[in-house]
Protein backbone atom coordinates (compact mmCIF):
# COMPACT_ATOMS: atom_id res chain seq x y z
CA UNK A 1 0.00 0.00 0.00
CA UNK A 2 1.33 3.41 -1.01
CA UNK A 3 0.44 6.21 1.43
CA UNK A 4 0.80 9.91 0.70
CA UNK A 5 0.81 11.69 4.06
CA UNK A 6 0.74 15.32 5.13
CA UNK A 7 1.54 17.06 8.43
CA UNK A 8 0.77 20.75 8.98
CA UNK A 9 -0.34 21.01 12.62
CA UNK A 10 2.67 23.02 13.81
CA UNK A 11 5.33 25.39 12.47
CA UNK A 12 6.88 23.00 9.93
CA UNK A 13 5.06 21.51 6.95
CA UNK A 14 5.85 17.96 5.89
CA UNK A 15 4.77 15.38 3.33
CA UNK A 16 5.92 11.80 2.84
CA UNK A 17 5.51 8.75 0.66
CA UNK A 18 5.48 5.42 2.51
CA UNK A 19 5.01 2.05 0.84
CA UNK A 20 4.21 -0.93 3.08
CA UNK A 21 5.87 0.70 6.08
CA UNK A 22 8.99 1.75 4.18
CA UNK A 23 9.78 5.44 3.73
CA UNK A 24 10.30 6.30 0.07
CA UNK A 25 10.67 10.05 0.45
CA UNK A 26 9.92 12.90 2.81
CA UNK A 27 9.90 16.65 2.28
CA UNK A 28 9.93 19.06 5.23
CA UNK A 29 9.93 22.83 5.08
CA UNK A 30 10.04 25.38 7.90
CA UNK A 31 10.52 28.58 5.94
CA UNK A 32 8.04 30.81 7.72
CA UNK A 33 5.68 30.73 4.74
CA UNK A 34 2.11 29.67 5.41
CA UNK A 35 1.24 26.01 4.88
CA UNK A 36 -1.39 27.06 2.37
CA UNK A 37 1.48 28.19 0.11
CA UNK A 38 3.89 25.31 0.69
CA UNK A 39 2.07 22.04 1.44
CA UNK A 40 0.48 21.21 -1.92
CA UNK A 41 3.53 22.23 -4.04
CA UNK A 42 5.71 20.10 -1.76
CA UNK A 43 3.50 17.07 -2.35
CA UNK A 44 3.44 17.66 -6.11
CA UNK A 45 7.24 17.98 -6.27
CA UNK A 46 7.74 14.87 -4.17
CA UNK A 47 5.47 12.75 -6.39
CA UNK A 48 7.19 14.07 -9.51
CA UNK A 49 10.68 13.32 -8.16
CA UNK A 50 9.56 9.79 -7.23
CA UNK A 51 8.21 9.36 -10.77
CA UNK A 52 4.73 8.77 -9.36
CA UNK A 53 1.36 10.45 -9.75
CA UNK A 54 -1.63 10.80 -7.45
CA UNK A 55 -3.28 7.91 -9.29
CA UNK A 56 -0.54 5.60 -7.94
CA UNK A 57 -1.43 6.45 -4.34
CA UNK A 58 -3.65 4.03 -2.41
CA UNK A 59 -4.37 6.16 0.67
CA UNK A 60 -4.18 9.84 1.59
CA UNK A 61 -3.36 10.53 5.25
CA UNK A 62 -3.22 13.73 7.27
CA UNK A 63 -2.67 14.75 10.88
CA UNK A 64 -6.13 16.05 11.79
CA UNK A 65 -5.21 17.54 15.16
CA UNK A 66 -4.69 18.64 17.78
CA UNK A 67 -2.40 21.52 16.90
CA UNK A 68 -2.50 24.97 15.36
CA UNK A 69 -6.10 25.70 14.40
CA UNK A 70 -5.00 27.23 11.09
CA UNK A 71 -2.50 24.47 10.36
CA UNK A 72 -5.01 21.71 11.08
CA UNK A 73 -7.62 23.36 8.84
CA UNK A 74 -5.14 23.76 5.98
CA UNK A 75 -3.99 20.13 6.08
CA UNK A 76 -7.45 18.62 6.43
CA UNK A 77 -8.99 20.87 3.78
CA UNK A 78 -6.21 20.11 1.31
CA UNK A 79 -6.51 16.34 1.75
CA UNK A 80 -10.30 16.53 1.48
CA UNK A 81 -9.88 18.38 -1.82
CA UNK A 82 -7.37 15.84 -3.13
CA UNK A 83 -9.61 12.95 -2.09
CA UNK A 84 -12.65 14.49 -3.81
CA UNK A 85 -10.75 15.30 -7.00
CA UNK A 86 -9.06 11.91 -7.30
CA UNK A 87 -11.80 9.72 -5.77
CA UNK A 88 -9.26 8.40 -3.23
CA UNK A 89 -9.88 7.13 0.27
CA UNK A 90 -8.36 9.16 3.07
CA UNK A 91 -7.83 9.04 6.81
CA UNK A 92 -7.09 11.51 9.60
CA UNK A 93 -4.80 10.51 12.44
CA UNK A 94 -4.05 12.05 15.81
CA UNK A 95 -1.03 14.36 15.74
CA UNK A 96 -0.03 12.97 19.14
CA UNK A 97 -0.32 9.34 18.07
CA UNK A 98 1.78 10.07 15.00
CA UNK A 99 4.48 11.73 17.13
CA UNK A 100 4.63 8.68 19.38
CA UNK A 101 6.18 6.78 16.46
CA UNK A 102 9.29 8.94 16.95
CA UNK A 103 9.90 7.07 20.20
CA UNK A 104 10.39 3.63 18.65
CA UNK A 105 14.14 3.56 19.28
CA UNK A 106 13.74 4.86 22.83
CA UNK A 107 11.12 2.30 23.83
CA UNK A 108 9.18 2.47 27.08
CA UNK A 109 6.87 5.34 27.97
CA UNK A 110 6.40 7.95 25.22
CA UNK A 111 4.95 11.35 26.10
CA UNK A 112 4.06 13.56 23.11
CA UNK A 113 3.40 17.15 24.17
CA UNK A 114 2.34 20.16 22.11
CA UNK A 115 2.38 23.63 23.62
CA UNK A 116 -1.26 24.72 24.07
CA UNK A 117 -0.30 28.01 25.81
CA UNK A 118 -1.34 29.21 29.27
CA UNK A 119 0.70 26.45 31.00
CA UNK A 120 -1.22 23.75 29.16
CA UNK A 121 -0.20 21.09 26.66
CA UNK A 122 -1.98 18.77 24.28
CA UNK A 123 -0.92 15.33 25.43
CA UNK A 124 -1.47 11.59 25.29
CA UNK A 125 0.66 8.78 26.71
CA UNK A 126 1.86 5.73 24.78
CA UNK A 127 4.04 2.71 25.39
CA UNK A 128 6.18 1.02 22.76
CA UNK A 129 5.17 -2.63 22.45
CA UNK A 130 6.03 -5.03 19.63
CA UNK A 131 7.60 -2.26 17.56
CA UNK A 132 4.71 0.21 17.67
CA UNK A 133 3.12 2.74 20.05
CA UNK A 134 0.21 1.47 22.14
CA UNK A 135 -2.15 4.14 23.44
CA UNK A 136 -2.47 4.52 27.24
CA UNK A 137 -4.64 7.65 27.36
CA UNK A 138 -6.89 9.62 25.09
CA UNK A 139 -5.74 12.89 23.54
CA UNK A 140 -6.46 15.71 25.96
CA UNK A 141 -5.62 19.33 26.78
CA UNK A 142 -3.89 19.14 30.14
CA UNK A 143 -2.27 21.54 32.60
CA UNK A 144 1.46 20.93 32.95
CA UNK A 145 0.96 20.47 36.69
CA UNK A 146 -1.59 17.70 36.08
CA UNK A 147 0.70 15.94 33.61
CA UNK A 148 3.57 16.13 36.10
CA UNK A 149 1.51 14.43 38.81
CA UNK A 150 0.35 11.73 36.40
CA UNK A 151 3.92 10.96 35.34
CA UNK A 152 5.16 11.05 38.94
CA UNK A 153 2.67 8.33 39.83
CA UNK A 154 3.94 6.07 37.03
CA UNK A 155 7.49 5.93 38.47
CA UNK A 156 8.89 5.60 34.96
CA UNK A 157 11.10 7.76 32.78
CA UNK A 158 9.15 9.43 29.98
CA UNK A 159 10.52 10.13 26.49
CA UNK A 160 9.29 13.59 25.48
CA UNK A 161 8.51 14.52 21.87
CA UNK A 162 6.74 17.51 20.35
CA UNK A 163 7.02 21.28 20.28
CA UNK A 164 6.15 21.35 23.99
CA UNK A 165 8.88 18.87 24.92
CA UNK A 166 11.45 21.44 26.13
CA UNK A 167 8.87 23.29 28.21
CA UNK A 168 7.64 20.02 29.72
CA UNK A 169 11.17 18.75 30.33
CA UNK A 170 12.05 21.86 32.35
CA UNK A 171 8.88 21.56 34.42
CA UNK A 172 9.41 17.85 35.14
CA UNK A 173 13.11 18.20 35.90
CA UNK A 174 12.43 20.97 38.42
CA UNK A 175 10.14 18.55 40.26
CA UNK A 176 12.55 15.62 40.10
CA UNK A 177 10.37 13.61 37.69
CA UNK A 178 12.52 11.47 35.35
CA UNK A 179 12.29 12.29 31.65
CA UNK A 180 14.36 12.31 28.47
CA UNK A 181 14.13 15.02 25.84
CA UNK A 182 14.01 13.59 22.31
CA UNK A 183 16.86 14.72 20.04
CA UNK A 184 15.91 17.62 17.83
CA UNK A 185 15.60 15.51 14.67
CA UNK A 186 12.94 13.35 16.37
CA UNK A 187 11.21 16.02 18.40
CA UNK A 188 8.89 17.63 15.88
CA UNK A 189 6.01 16.29 13.83
CA UNK A 190 6.65 14.48 10.56
CA UNK A 191 4.55 13.15 7.70
CA UNK A 192 6.40 9.82 7.94
CA UNK A 193 4.91 9.24 11.37
CA UNK A 194 1.47 10.24 10.07
CA UNK A 195 1.75 7.55 7.42
CA UNK A 196 2.86 4.97 9.98
CA UNK A 197 -0.06 5.81 12.29
CA UNK A 198 -2.48 5.61 9.34
CA UNK A 199 -1.57 2.04 8.38
CA UNK A 200 -4.07 0.34 10.70
CA UNK A 201 -6.83 2.94 10.47
CA UNK A 202 -10.08 2.35 8.59
CA UNK A 203 -10.07 4.57 5.49
CA UNK A 204 -12.95 6.91 4.84
CA UNK A 205 -13.98 9.48 2.28
CA UNK A 206 -13.52 13.20 1.97
CA UNK A 207 -16.94 13.61 3.63
CA UNK A 208 -15.87 11.75 6.77
CA UNK A 209 -12.50 13.50 7.23
CA UNK A 210 -12.83 16.13 9.96
CA UNK A 211 -10.45 18.24 12.07
CA UNK A 212 -10.02 17.53 15.78
CA UNK A 213 -9.26 20.62 17.87
CA UNK A 214 -9.82 19.36 21.47
CA UNK A 215 -10.71 22.87 22.62
CA UNK A 216 -12.26 26.07 21.31
CA UNK A 217 -10.15 28.58 19.42
CA UNK A 218 -9.12 31.80 21.16
CA UNK A 219 -11.58 33.76 19.01
CA UNK A 220 -14.43 31.45 20.03
CA UNK A 221 -13.42 31.63 23.71
CA UNK A 222 -13.40 35.42 23.52
CA UNK A 223 -16.80 35.43 21.80
CA UNK A 224 -18.31 33.24 24.50
CA UNK A 225 -16.75 35.42 27.20
CA UNK A 226 -18.36 38.51 25.63
CA UNK A 227 -21.75 36.76 25.48
CA UNK A 228 -21.50 35.82 29.16
CA UNK A 229 -20.55 39.39 30.05
CA UNK A 230 -23.51 40.75 28.11
CA UNK A 231 -25.88 38.33 29.84
CA UNK A 232 -24.55 39.11 33.31
Q: Model confidence at 225, in pLDDT bands (50, 70, 90)?
A: very low
Q: Model confidence at 224, in pLDDT bands (50, 70, 90)?
A: very low
Structural domain including 23 reads 2-95+190-222
33 and 85 housed in the same domain: yes
- Considering the chain, what percentage of its residues have pLDDT values greater than 70? 93
pLDDT the model gives residue 125: 98
pLDDT the model gives residue 223: 46
pLDDT of 226 strictly over 90: no
158 and 136 housed in the same domain: yes
Q: pLDDT digits over 148-169, tens only?
A: 999 999 999 999 999 999 999 9
pLDDT the model gives residue 34: 87
205 and 173 housed in the same domain: no
pLDDT the model gives residue 230: 53
103 and 127 housed in the same domain: yes
pLDDT the model gives residue 7: 97
Average pLDDT over residues 168-197: 96
Asked if the structure places residue 83 within a domain, the reply is: yes
- Long-range contacts made by residues 119-125, C-beta under 8 angstroms, separation at least 24? 119/143, 119/144, 119/145, 120/144, 121/147, 121/162, 121/164, 121/167, 121/168, 122/66, 122/67, 122/95, 122/96, 122/164, 122/214, 123/96, 123/147, 124/94, 124/96, 124/97, 124/100, 125/150, 125/158
Amino acid sequence: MLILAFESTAKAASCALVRDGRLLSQYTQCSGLTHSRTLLPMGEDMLKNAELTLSDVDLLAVAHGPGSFTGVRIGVSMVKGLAWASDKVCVGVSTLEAMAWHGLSAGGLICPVMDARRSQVYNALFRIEDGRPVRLTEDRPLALAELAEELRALHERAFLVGDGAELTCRALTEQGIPCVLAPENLRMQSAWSVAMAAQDKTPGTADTLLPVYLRLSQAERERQARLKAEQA
